[in-house]
Structure 1
Amino acid sequence: MDGTCPFSLRSFLIVALATALCCLCALWAFGGVFRKAEAIKNKKSSCKCVCSCGGGGDSGTARANGEMAMCGEKRTATAERQVGGSMMEQLVPEITTHALSYLDYTSLCRLSMTNSAMRRAANDDGAWKALYHKDFTVEQDSITPVNGWKSYYAATKAIINVNAEFYNIIREGSLPAMSRFWLNADYVQCIHGSGELFMGYTAVIDSWALAFNWAQGGGGQGVTFQIRNVRARVLSDMAWITMKAYVDLDSGPFHVTNIYEFHNKRWYMVHHHSSVMLMDGDPGPHNLLG
């Protein structure tokens, strides 16, 4: 037995070597299964689109590529929208207001319905103030509307449309429409271009009946109005408009003031005052329709 390794030690070394080799093989096999599971998981989660390739082959590959391209386009579009919103938010407020001032009323309202960033920009009070000055007048720059410039713009646009309806009624000579246009109240007043004053609802409507009869009799047949220099001021339930009304461009204009009150969700006229502007000592035509 001298010079040789004992049998028990040699057996122990063989068993230890075999055990280590088995552990390495087990670890390598487990790692391969884990890597394969991770690859399958990543393949499924790489795109949110549902891919069912079917029969395989070229058609299946093409379909998968198409769906991956669609996912890429969606991600790109989303990124572009986010970039567009962030760009608007990063603009200096004065630049944004100036850019939006080139839009009209309808376009600005539509812009506010695109996304949250555009809605904040389109509802900016400064943008609506700039649009008001562009479409109406800069004479009211110092006022502060109670409900903001957007609401004030809408109210001004509404009362100017009502005022235009008043002159359409005169052109048509419709007494029923004129009767509905005035508020049925004792304090309403009408001063025609002739200088005559009519007080109370009945007297005012009778004066318009007289004016329409005069026009239909030939004295004012074919006469049309041109309204210029319209200026409006609107409060919560009261509005007044000043303007120049041209019945005949060869003569001077009528200076007109119309006052409206808001009742039962609509505007009614309560005061109309028309006075002719004297030119070169000529009193001009005394037109009831002024």
Structure 2
Amino acid sequence: MSYLVEIIPCNSLVLSQKINLEKPMPSTSLANGNAGDRPPDVVADDKPGVSMMEQLVPEITTHALSYLDYPSLCRLSMTNSLMRKAANDDNAWKALYHKDFTLEQDGITPVNGWKAYYATTRAIISVNTGFFDIIRERSLPEMAQLWLNSDYVKCIHASGELFSGYSEVMQSWQLCFNWEQGFDFQVHNVRTRILTDMAWVTMKAYLNVDAGPFLITNVFEHHNGRWHMVHHHSSVMLIDGVNQQVVVH
């Protein structure tokens, strides 16, 4: 018996597959002298009540699941107990993490497994995206909610000036938002690292295509069910040793 499995990438719950089963030809009187009898050493290929997907070896199942996106993998886990076990497999979530985010963290072993690590990474990236939305909208109240109200928070703007403590940090953002020129950053090369209740994000942010990017690092801490910013560092990337960017934040 051989299986030919063709998995088609999809963004839905359904896995498209083509199974070709090569079974022995039914026995005939010409073959063994007893019409319709099967040789005693031939075992039935089909398992009653078990789907073809459930009969696949774990390696093939994991490979098939790697084509699913995040929502589809979550929905698959709610179909039945076997699929729930397969959809919660650490290898499947590790593959999805590498596909959606980065291969840089291939050697780590997340404390709570790759599924939890993937979900937390999505949450951190969402908070980090919200940070740039706040800058774009110049919303000081939202910036105040994002930052942890603590005396150890730090903010280093691209000017190189350091602001320490919650009050100073908020004053620095007030000055930035009062500037006439708006900020509409295009963010690229986002990389996230998570350690239990702390996470940091590195990225490049562009204000226009003609100038070099800002190199930005944001650090977050998890408090009372929310991720709060505790550190922001922005610096200008030099191109051929020259600062081609106007310092704006």
Figure out how many residues of one structure are paired with residues of the other and give that number.
204
Q: CA deviation at 1:93?
A: 2.0
Distance 1:207 1:249 in 2: 26
The answer for the alignment partner of 1:82 in structure 2 is 49
Which one has the bigger helix percentage?
Answer: 1
Cα 1:210/1:116, change in 2 over 3 Å: same
State whether residues 176 and 248 of structure 2, in contact with CA within 8 Å, keep that contact through their aligned partners in structure 1: yes
* TM-score of the pair, normalised by structure 2: 0.78
Q: CA deviation at 1:120?
A: 1.0
State whether residues 232 and 241 of structure 1, in contact with CA within 8 Å, keep that contact through their aligned partners in structure 2: yes
Amino acid at match of 2:50: V
SS at match of 1:88: helix
Distance 2:244 2:131 in 1: 23
The answer for the alignment partner of 1:112 in structure 2 is 77
State whether residues 159 and 267 of structure 1, in contact with CA within 8 Å, keep that contact through their aligned partners in structure 2: yes
2:86 is the alignment partner of 1:126? no
Amino acid at match of 2:212: G
Q: CA deviation at 1:81?
A: 9.3
Distance 1:96 1:143 in 2: 23
Aligned Cα root-mean-square deviation (Å): 1.6
The answer for the alignment partner of 1:250 in structure 2 is 210
Q: CA deviation at 1:166?
A: 0.3
The answer for the alignment partner of 2:109 in structure 1 is 144
* TM-score of the pair, normalised by structure 1: 0.68
Q: CA deviation at 1:285?
A: 2.6
Distance 1:90 1:137 in 2: 32
2:231 is the alignment partner of 1:264? no
The answer for the alignment partner of 1:234 in structure 2 is 194
After superposition, residues 161-172 of structure 1 pair within 5 angstroms as 161-172=126-137
Which of 224, 229, 234 is residue 184 of structure 2 equivalent to? 224
Distance 1:224 1:147 in 2: 36
The percent identity for this pair of structures is: 68
Q: CA deviation at 1:105?
A: 0.5
Q: CA deviation at 1:224?
A: 1.1
**TM-superposition CA deviations, 1:152-176 (whole Å, max 9, x none):** 1001100010000000000000011
2:59 is the alignment partner of 1:94? yes
**TM-superposition CA deviations, 1:67-105 (whole Å, max 9, x none):** xxxxxxxxxxxx999321xx3343222221111111111
Cα 1:81/1:139, change in 2 over 3 Å: farther
Distance 1:129 1:139 in 2: 12
Q: CA deviation at 1:234?
A: 1.0
The answer for the alignment partner of 2:42 in structure 1 is none
Amino acid at match of 1:257: T
Which of 162, 165, 168 is residue 203 of structure 1 equivalent to? 168
Distance 1:175 1:92 in 2: 55
State whether residues 74 and 87 of structure 2, in contact with CA within 8 Å, keep that contact through their aligned partners in structure 1: yes
The answer for the alignment partner of 1:191 in structure 2 is 156
The answer for the alignment partner of 1:23 in structure 2 is none
State whether residues 96 and 121 of structure 1, in contact with CA within 8 Å, keep that contact through their aligned partners in structure 2: yes
SS at match of 1:157: helix
Amino acid at match of 2:242: D
State whether residues 194 and 286 of structure 1, in contact with CA within 8 Å, keep that contact through their aligned partners in structure 2: no
The answer for the alignment partner of 1:58 in structure 2 is none
Distance 2:208 2:108 in 1: 36
- Higher Cα Rg, which structure: 1
